[in-house]
Amino acid sequence: MTDMMRLIEPLIPALRRYARALLRNPTDADDLVQDCLERAVGRWHQRQADGDARTWLFAILHNLAVTQMRQRVRRGAHMPIEDTAEANLAVAPTQESGLRHRDLMTALDALPEEQRSVLLLVTVEGLSYAETADILAIPTGTVMSRLSRARDRMIQLMDGTDAAVPAKRPLLRRVK
């Protein structure tokens, strides 16, 4: 045991310097050195007797650091829960939004082409009724009618109901 301590103890400052240079965080570096020393003491019997203890310790430290950095990349940044805003803790599951998107695209595909094009130009592209009418070469009243029918049908398809008119309909924009 004294032989082990005599070889390891003078190397601790160099191990700390190397760990700090690798991780750029003094606390994490000290933890890394602690893990390295724990592993070295626990596996001292595996060390080659004629091998250099310094090289062996630096190899252990380096391998632990690489493993730790890979884990951080996989897990993401660590932030104490006390320092996190409440809004960051409540994250909506991604599955539901993916299913909603799939349903929306399916409902959009179910619309007739003339309703789909009006709906996309007005709601997605943000064009006015007059601009949409010019693009599609149809009267403005037809744009309003097709948009109304497209919205009603989308609501029916998204809700999964066969109701003739939904209870809350989005209002049409004013024509200028």
Residue 53 contacts residue 11 (beta carbons within 8 Å): yes
Domain assignment of residue 36, given as a range? 2-79
Question: Is 89 inside a domain boundary?
Answer: no
49 shares its domain with 106: no
Q: What's the confidence (pLDDT) of residue 162?
A: 55
72 shares its domain with 102: no
13 shares its domain with 50: yes
* Total number of domains in the chain: 2
Q: pLDDT 10s per residue in the chain (176 long)? A: 678 888 889 999 999 999 999 888 899 999 999 999 999 999 888 887 777 888 889 999 999 999 988 988 888 777 778 888 887 777 777 788 888 889 989 999 999 989 998 999 999 888 999 999 998 999 999 999 999 999 999 999 988 765 455 555 555 566 65
155 shares its domain with 109: yes
104 shares its domain with 35: no
Q: What's the confidence (pLDDT) of residue 176?
A: 57
Question: Does pTM surpass 0.75?
Answer: no
146 shares its domain with 100: yes
Q: What's the confidence (pLDDT) of residue 45?
A: 84
Among the candidates 24, 50, 79, a domain finishes at 79
75 shares its domain with 100: no
CATH number of the domain enclosing 27:
1.10.1740.10
CATH number of the domain enclosing 131:
1.10.10.10
Q: What's the CA gap between 155 and 168, in Å, rounded? A: 10
Question: Is 50 inside a domain boundary?
Answer: yes
13 shares its domain with 70: yes
126 shares its domain with 68: no
In 3D space, the residue among 152, 145, 157 whose CA is nearest the CA of residue 170 turns out to be 152
